[in-house]
């Protein structure tokens, strides 16, 4: 089925624990730093935890993010 891809793009904060998604874009000045940690457009991630911080897994690395940063990461659910 064809879907309009733009409507499926959500900030990471919309994901539930265990949900997988692909990063579409990252806004804000944290983008460079996040790239160093392995988060950039095209990468597949999984949300592991939402509280007290967001925990996101890429490959075998886990990253803790505060909500303000998670909000700037836009993803496409898989």
Partner 1 sequence: MGSRSKATVLLEDPSELVVLDNPALPDTGRVVLIGQANVGKSVVFSRLTSRYVTISNFPGTTVEIFHGRVNLDGETVEIIDTPGINSTYASTEDERAALRVLQEDSPELIVQVADAKNMRRTLRLTAQLAQFGIPMVLTLNMMDECERKGIYVDADILSKKLGIPVVQTVATTGAGLDGLKKVLRSRQRCSLNGHEPFQWVEDALASAQRSTPGETQKLETRTKWFTFLALFGSLLHLENYFGAWLGLPTLATSFQTFFETQDFPEILTESLTVILAYLLPVLVPVLWAVGKDHGFNERFGVWARQVLPGTLILVVTMSLVFQLVGVLGAQTLVGILEEGIFSGYVTPFLQDILPSGFLNDLVVGQYGVVSMGIAYAVAIVLPVVSTFFIAFSFLEDSGYLPRLSILSDRLLRAMGLHGKALLPMVLGLGCVTMATMTTRILRSKKERFVATFLLALGVPCSAQLGVILGITSGISLKALLIVFGTVASQLVFVGFVLSKLYPGQRSSFVLEVPPIRYPDWKNIFRKTYWRVVWFLKEALPLFAIGALALFVLDKLQLLGKITSASEPVITGLLGLPKEAAAVFLVGFLRRDYGAAGLFDLSRQGQLDSIQIVVGLVVLTLFVPCIANSLVIVKEQGLWKALGMIAFVFVYAVCVGGVLNWLLHTFGIVL
Would you call 67 exposed, middle or buried from its count of C-beta atoms within 10 A (0-12, 13-18, 19+)? middle
CB of 45 to partner 1, least distance (A): 12
Measure Cα distances from 12 to 1, 2, 4, 68 in Å. Answer: 24, 23, 19, 10
Residue 8 within binding range of partner 1, rule CB under 8 A: no
Q: Which is nearer to partner 1, 8 or 68 (CB)?
A: 68
According to the binding rule CB under 8 A, does residue 17 interact with partner 1? Answer: no
- From the CB of 66, what's the least distance to partner 1, in Å? 4
Residues 25-44 that bind partner 1 (CB under 8 A): 29-38, 40-43
Neighbours of 41 (CB within 10 A): 14
């Amino acid at each position: 089925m064809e879907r309009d891809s733009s409507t499926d793009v959500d900030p990471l904060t919309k994901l539930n624990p265990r949900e997988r998604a692909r990063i579409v874009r990252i806004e804000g000045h944290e983008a460079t730093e996040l790239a160093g940690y392995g988060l950039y457009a095209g990468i597949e991630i999984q949300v592991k935890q939402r509280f007290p911080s967001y925990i996101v897994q890429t490959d075998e690395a886990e990253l803790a993010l505060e909500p303000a940063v998670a909000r700037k990461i836009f993803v496409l659910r898989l």
